[in-house]
Structure 1
Amino acid sequence: MNIPTGVKNHECAVCGKAFTRKGHLKRHMEIHASVKHQECDICGKAFLHKRSLKLHVEMHAGVKNYKCVVCGKAFTQKGALQLHMKIHAGIKNYHCNVCEKAFTQKGSLGLHMKIHAGVKNHECYVCGKPFLHKGHLKLHMEVHAGVKNQECDICGKAFLHKRSFKLHIEMHAGVKNHKCVVCGKAFTHKGSLNRHIKIHAGIKNHDCNVCGKAFTQKGSLKLHMKIHASIQNHDCNICEKAFTRKRSLGLHMKIHAGVKNFECDVCGKPFTQKSHLKLHMEVHAGVKNQECDICGKAFLHKRSLELHIEMHAGVKNHKCVVCGKAFTRKGSLKRHIKIHAGIKNHDCNVCGKAFTQKGSLKLHMENHAGVKNHECDVCGKAFTLKGHLNLHMEMHAGIKDHECDVCGKAFTRKTTLTGHMRIHACIKKS
């Protein structure tokens, strides 16, 4: 019988590694020979050692005998538990030599290095989008499949990803862990707090490329653009007046109901909206003497008030002679005319591309800078252009306007439908 003495007399002739037992050396030699006799009957994966196969089969069976004493998470293999315990201990021995970020596991560092190298080996066969991780591609494929397995028991809304679902549940529970250090206002999502902070900082990165008006939040700009596009989907069933925003319709209905909960402490005048009262108070302060009787907004100059009144009345006296589109203000018409004239005075100093409006150039420059100010408040993904975010939000909303003429399947994006049509084309050829 070969009794181990602690002495490693059995050395591998290939790599020089030494072993206490001859049997251990024999099994080690199978690695160099790439011999894998132990095959899994479930998935066909082969292993060098019987013990490795046994652990693998336990994984299929869902056996998890190794439990973390800190958080209760269970694992199939002891080694996996040991790696997990390093996370609790804060042990990060694997450092990136590019950005100095540290990792608990060597494999995590390896994946991280692919980011610096720009390696994305996992490509979507439908739309061609590449991904760094196989897991990310798997989640992406659920978008094409329209799979939403995470369903809310409260409202029935479904989500693609577990993280998005968790944030949604916190919203129902009223959990607001992200607090503003300036005014104390709390938010459910970190992204919402980040956008709120921009208000205090006076940051307005979202410019309208039609009139140049700037906004703190992309959502505000999106609603503003509907005004330019004359999109008014929310109709009043009493007077048939239409509104761009659902909230605006709700406030308008209060007028019909005679609801005016916001009263001025100085003169007693009541208002439907708190913002109207706030504007009205500026009149008492002598800041703006020209007040709108409709919404309470005040102006310094009479001419500004007149233009504002025309907006309420829907007066658009400035008409384009080329396409017939009408505008409330002359300045808006002038900017519009430049599009027809092909006037592009705003040149990009990086690639030379020219634009009609300064706002369009500003958005283009963000592409070069890699700036992504348009963040999704559901999953946190950021985009350079608001249009890309709008498309992304349609995915969360489950909007599928692009339908296949062959099988009737609907998609969120036109590009996804194009990729889908290739499948029909391949079937037809075969």
Structure 2
Amino acid sequence: MHNGAKNHECDVCGKIFTRKCDLKSHMEMHAGVKNHACNVCGKAFTQKVSLKLHMDIHAGIKNHECAVCGKAFHRKPNLKLHMEVHAGVKNHECNVCGKAFTQKVGLNRHMKIHAGVKNHECAVCGKSFTHTGDMKLHMQMHFGIKNHECDICGKAFTQKSHLKLHMQTHIGIKNHECAVCGKSFTQQNSLKLHMDMHADVKNHECAVCGKAFTHKGHLKPHKEMHVGIKNHECAVCGKAFTRKGHLERHMKNHAGVKNHECAVCGKAFTQQSTLKLHMQMHIEIKNHECAVCGKSFTHKNSLKLHMEMHFGIKNHECDICGKALTRKTTLTGHIRIHDCMKNHKSGI
């Protein structure tokens, strides 16, 4: 024993020990004997030294610190595994999809996804998750916990990964390109939603009017329209909108920004949708027909104005003589007559 000779060999794995008592303790590991229990949590261990290391966890002792990032660990093997992350070493590969992991435990967790194992259920909504960590993050969503805040705009997120994706919008990284139209996106999920538009997939239907939408995010403001919720108000004229996007488009009218030009006549418009309606005029598409006289119109709004004429609706009244007219444009022309008469009387 004093000369360092190792005469005690394990019959199971062949490991050799100097002392017989060490071999005995080692054999208990093979036999699954766990006589050393933690008095804090009850977890049992084969060897006393393992219990001692475990007790360091309860005491918060972390003596093994990473020289790269400063993260500390209870055990040296854990630090060693962590260092592989910095080195980019991924020796544990999934035999199903080929994804590689730094640690075996990461691969084991990943394999549960392929197996469809979801043992962690949310107590609020019943949604199940493969990993307990994912379930905990999900629970934060229910309780509105958002600990990851953007330093640039202040927007907060439940998960760090969501903040990371959000930061790409600020620096303009768009690695996900649409194979149909070439439009690029910051996030893979945004591209996926965009592709649904090309495929005309509309799974989100309004329970009130039956109108269907590609994105769930578009259905929500549409429902607000039914109940008259308009939270987005123009600071210039006070007009309110259901959606922020509609307000932004409206603000371009005030700014006089007209980026959408007609390729036929050169007329420019503030909005793409207005240009689209204008183009119908050039190709003489008139899908809006009057039920009274059969006259057709390019724009739905033009038909609406035309119908007011049939029903005698005159909402535009002259402030000078009180005469009411069907259209605003007609009223403008009518006021010019008053101006001409005024100028004639004054001798101008």
| TM bracket (short chain) | 0.5 to 0.7
Task: Deviation per CA, 1:148-195: give whole Å up to 9, x if none.
Answer: 221222232222111112222222233333344555543221212233
Q: Shift of residue 204 of structure 1?
A: 1.3
* Alpha-carbon distance in structure 2 between the residues aligned to 1:27 and 1:134: 34
* Alpha-carbon distance in structure 1 between the residues aligned to 2:33 and 2:228: 73
Number of aligned residue pairs: give it.
Answer: 292
* Alpha-carbon distance in structure 1 between the residues aligned to 2:305 and 2:61: 68
Task: Deviation per CA, 1:48-93: give whole Å up to 9, x if none.
Answer: 233663476279334334668xx99875544335556399444236
Task: Deviation per CA, 1:101-135: give whole Å up to 9, x if none.
Answer: 77665544544554466544434455555433222
Q: Shift of residue 205 of structure 1?
A: 0.9
TM-score, normalised to structure 1's length?
0.51
* Alpha-carbon distance in structure 1 between the residues aligned to 2:299 and 2:173: 46
- Aligned twin of 2:52: 53
* Alpha-carbon distance in structure 2 between the residues aligned to 1:204 and 1:149: 37
Q: Which amino acid aligns with 1:192?
A: S
**CA distance 1:311–1:167, shift in 2 (3 Å):** farther
Q: Which amino acid aligns with 1:203?
A: A
Q: Which amino acid aligns with 2:172?
A: G
Aligned ranges 1:271-282 → 2 under 5 Å: 271-282=269-280
Q: Percent identity?
A: 45
Asked if residue 196 in structure 1 is aligned to residue 194 in structure 2, the reply is yes
* Alpha-carbon distance in structure 2 between the residues aligned to 1:93 and 1:135: 22
Q: Shift of residue 239 of structure 1?
A: 7.0
Q: Which amino acid aligns with 2:278?
A: H
Could you say what secondary structure the match of 1:61 adopts? coil
Aligned ranges 1:28-427 → 2 under 5 Å: 28-31=26-29, 32-36=32-36, 39=38, 47=45, 48-50=47-49, 53-54=52-53, 57=56, 60-65=60-65, 76-80=74-78, 83=81, 85=84, 88-92=88-92, 95=95, 105-112=103-110, 114-115=112-113, 118-125=116-123, 129-181=127-179, 183-199=181-197, 202-206=198-202, 208=205, 215-226=213-224, 231-234=229-232, 242-255=240-253, 257=254, 259=256, 261-262=258-259, 264=262, 266-267=264-265, 269-284=267-282, 287-290=283-286, 303=296, 305=298, 307-309=300-302
Could you say what secondary structure the match of 2:64 adopts? coil
* Alpha-carbon distance in structure 2 between the residues aligned to 1:54 and 1:314: 85
**CA distance 1:159–1:312, shift in 2 (3 Å):** farther
- Aligned twin of 1:9: 9
Q: Conserved in 2, the CA contact under 8 Å of 1:40 and 1:46?
A: no
Q: 5, 24, 27: which is aligned to 1:26?
A: 24
Q: Which amino acid aligns with 1:166?
A: K
Q: Conserved in 1, the CA contact under 8 Å of 2:196 and 2:202?
A: no
* Alpha-carbon distance in structure 1 between the residues aligned to 2:258 and 2:21: 87
Q: Which amino acid aligns with 2:9?
A: N
Unmatched 5+ residue regions in structure 1? 293-300, 316-430
Q: Shift of residue 35 of structure 1?
A: 1.5
* Alpha-carbon distance in structure 1 between the residues aligned to 2:48 and 2:214: 61
Q: Which has the higher contact order (CA 8 A, sep 6+)?
A: 1
Q: Conserved in 2, the CA contact under 8 Å of 1:74 and 1:81?
A: yes
* Alpha-carbon distance in structure 1 between the residues aligned to 2:296 and 2:103: 67
TM-score, normalised to structure 2's length?
0.61
**CA distance 1:244–1:4, shift in 2 (3 Å):** same
Q: Which amino acid aligns with 2:16?
A: T
**CA distance 1:45–1:156, shift in 2 (3 Å):** farther
Q: Conserved in 2, the CA contact under 8 Å of 1:280 and 1:291?
A: no
Q: Which amino acid aligns with 2:33?
A: A
**CA distance 1:310–1:36, shift in 2 (3 Å):** farther
- Aligned twin of 1:330: none
Q: Conserved in 1, the CA contact under 8 Å of 2:112 and 2:130?
A: yes
* Alpha-carbon distance in structure 2 between the residues aligned to 1:108 and 1:177: 26
Q: Which amino acid aligns with 2:49?
A: K
Q: Conserved in 1, the CA contact under 8 Å of 2:91 and 2:100?
A: no
Task: Deviation per CA, 1:354-377: give whole Å up to 9, x if none.
Answer: xxxxxxxxxxxxxxxxxxxxxxxx
Over aligned residues, Cα RMSD in angstroms?
A: 4.6
Q: Conserved in 2, the CA contact under 8 Å of 1:65 and 1:75?
A: yes
**CA distance 1:40–1:67, shift in 2 (3 Å):** farther
**CA distance 1:128–1:154, shift in 2 (3 Å):** same
* Alpha-carbon distance in structure 2 between the residues aligned to 1:313 and 1:6: 104
Could you say what secondary structure the match of 2:63 adopts? coil
- Aligned twin of 1:393: none
Q: Shift of residue 273 of structure 1?
A: 2.1
Q: Shift of residue 34 of structure 1?
A: 1.1
Could you say what secondary structure the match of 1:206 adopts? coil
**CA distance 1:226–1:112, shift in 2 (3 Å):** same
Unmatched 5+ residue regions in structure 2? 289-293, 309-348
**CA distance 1:175–1:204, shift in 2 (3 Å):** same
Q: Which amino acid aligns with 1:139?
A: L
Could you say what secondary structure the match of 1:176 adopts? coil
